[in-house]
Amino acid sequence: MQLGARAPHVPDHADEDLESPRKRPGESKQAGAPNKVKKAVPSTTGLAGAVSGGDGVSLANVTLGDLRGLLEEQSQKILQANREHTEGLVKSLEERHDARISEVETVTRTLSDSMDSLQGRLTRMEQLMKGGGQVLGDERRKQTLVFGGWDRDTRRNVITRELTEAFVKLHITDQVDEEVFTTGPRRSIALLNMPLRLHELESGRKARMHRVLLAINGANATTSSGKRLWCSYSKTKQERETGAHCAWVKRSLGAISDTLAAEVDVEYASGSVWMGESLVASVVRQPMNGAKSDEMLVDSAAETCKPWVDLGALSKESQCAVEKLRGALVANKR
């Protein structure tokens, strides 16, 4: 502390800072309320923005009709877009539908062609079942040789053994590839198939068959039955019936007289028989002019042809009665 210092000055009037603001001279009420917010006065700039469009166009003069026109324009645009979209969908569906129809039509045509082809094959099979089996058999016969010279009902092993011996002695074993066979346990003939060899032509097979045929028929061999061994090509049923007709006529005449049998000329390929100047029998040829129906003998048992015998012409050339000739033919018919 300091002694003798001057004491501080003390004012003799009231301190203004200690007085209430209300009592201070020269200050208004507003000065005493500095925290109150003044009311905002509307601005003319904000109003102008409210009536202006986003693209800078003023909307102050827009009418209800303008709005309706704008809505109608927008509606037309939406309808047009929907219409185009719908038309596109319909067109796409139509294209897909047309494509599927085309596929169905293609499949239908394919099935129709297949059915037609199948129907044709079925028709051919029916024809084969009715008459084609014989055709197939005739095709197989073209590659078959027939051997004979044995009595009827000769045992199979006797026929096959003697034929095998003949092949060895005649040196034709290299011409055949299969064994001879018979169609039953007891027969008078044997068969031999001659199938095509690898890379062999039809002409080569026919040559081999012909060599076997010439060797057998030229050997003058005799079987155990005491008959001459012979070989021939297998014939179709029609060919056999045609040749059998000639044999039947000649056999029947031989039953009457060996001289009559020797006087006929025979053509087995056509089934024709001549005696003197007359055609007395045939399969493929027509009777001579003047033939009488009651003197014609027709073989109705034949399946592939209608062979006939002119008994009147045969009686004229042989000097035998018609009834005698008829009886001989009937008696010698097999």
Q: Which residue bears the tokens 């004012």?
A: 11
Q: What angle do CA 260, 262, 263 make, to 5 degrees?
A: 65
Domain ranges of the chain: 67-139, 142-233, 237-331
Quote the tokens at residue 307.
Answer: 């062979």
Quote the tokens at residue 252.
Answer: 């029947």
Round to whole Å and give the CA distance between 316 and 314: 5
Average pLDDT for the chain:
82
222-247: per-residue pLDDT in tens? 999 999 999 999 888 888 888 889 99
In the predicted structure, residue 221 carries a pLDDT above the cut 50? yes
pLDDT at 49: 47
82-99: per-residue pLDDT in tens? 999 998 899 888 998 889
CATH number for 142-233: choose from 3.30.70.330, 3.40.50.300, 1.10.150.120, 3.20.20.100: 3.30.70.330
User: In this predicted structure, which of 39-48, 237-246, 255-264, 318-327 has the lowest mean pLDDT?
Assistant: 39-48
| pTM confidence score | 0.47
pLDDT at 25: 54
